[in-house]
Chains A and B, each alone.
Chain A
Amino acid sequence: DIQLTQSPSFLSASVGDRVTITCRASQGINSHVAWYQQKPGKAPKLLVFAASTLQSGVPSRFSGSGSGTEFTLTISRLQSEDFATYYCQQGESYPLTFGPGTRVEI
């Protein structure tokens, strides 16, 4: 199975900050990564797929990059509604796996 790690696990930031979250895969997965945002009590929401393609309706302050084993999700200017937990997920093959999450808080 493909294992994913995320760093940091917790991030304290302020509105307007630039935030970067890293996801590393245990083996090369091309660009087959997706990123999700989850707020308390809500289902995850797809933000980015294929490492860098923004899902429809997602604000352009979100961006993704990377290939192979290292991927990043960047929020260019953090807004108050962006405080949430972010997960990466490998979409290379089954079993699908998720990273442990990065909690972004004020």
Chain B
Amino acid sequence: EVQVLESGGGLVEPGGSLRLSCVASGFIFPSYAMSWVRQTPGKGLEWVATISGSGEKTYYADSVKGRFTISRDTSKNTVYLQMNSLTAEDTAIFYCARINSTSEVLRCDYWGQGTQVTVSS
């Protein structure tokens, strides 16, 4: 059974940093890209970042480029999202998701339960 489990969310002050983790199981981890997607009540779902299965390629939303870094550790079946220079606009539920690209369409076929990130003083 494919499972994805996020952790690391919490309350952080503006300008602070936080690292999210996502442990995956039930599939061959290096064979799949992994993504972070966030959700706020006002903005709906927003894709944040993706890392390829090998870890060699990364993609970022313009809103986080230069502040967030996605990485993965194949030995731990874990994906990370390092978030720096956080602002109130980063307050959201952050989901980790597996990317499936068969049929040439990129989609999130398995999602974690989400972890809340709140940026506030």
Contact = CB atoms under 8 A, between A and B. Distances in A.
Contacts of A87: 44-45
Which residue, B45, B103, B109, B110, has most C-beta atoms of chain A within 10 A?
A: B45
Q: Is the interface of B mostly helix, strand, loop or mixed?
A: strand
A22 interface: no
Q: Is the interface of A mostly helix, strand, loop or mixed?
A: loop
Given A43-B95, A43-B114, A95-B62, A34 B107 contact: yes
Interface in A53-106: 53, 55, 87, 89, 91-101
A67 B95 CA distance: 28
Given A43-B113, A45-B111, A50 B45 contact: no
A102 B34 CA distance: 26
Contacts of B100: 49
B105 A50 contact: yes
A31 B111 contact: no
Given A87-B45, A101-B44, A96 B106 contact: yes
B47 A98 contact: yes
Contacts of B106: 32, 91-94, 96
Given A44-B45, A98-B44, A98-B45, A49 B62 contact: no
A46 interface: yes
Q: What range describes how many residues of A lie at the interface?
A: 20 to 34
A34 B106 CA distance: 8
22 contacts: A32-B104, A34-B108, A36-B108, A43-B112, A44-B95, A46-B107, A49-B103, A87-B45, A89-B45, A89-B107, A89-B108, A91-B101, A91-B106, A93-B106, A94-B50, A94-B106, A95-B59, A96-B47, A96-B50, A96-B106, A98-B45, A98-B47
Please provide the 7 A-B residue pairs with the shortest distance between their CB atoms, ordered closest to farther.
A91-B106, A91-B105, A34-B107, A43-B111, A96-B47, A98-B45, A50-B103
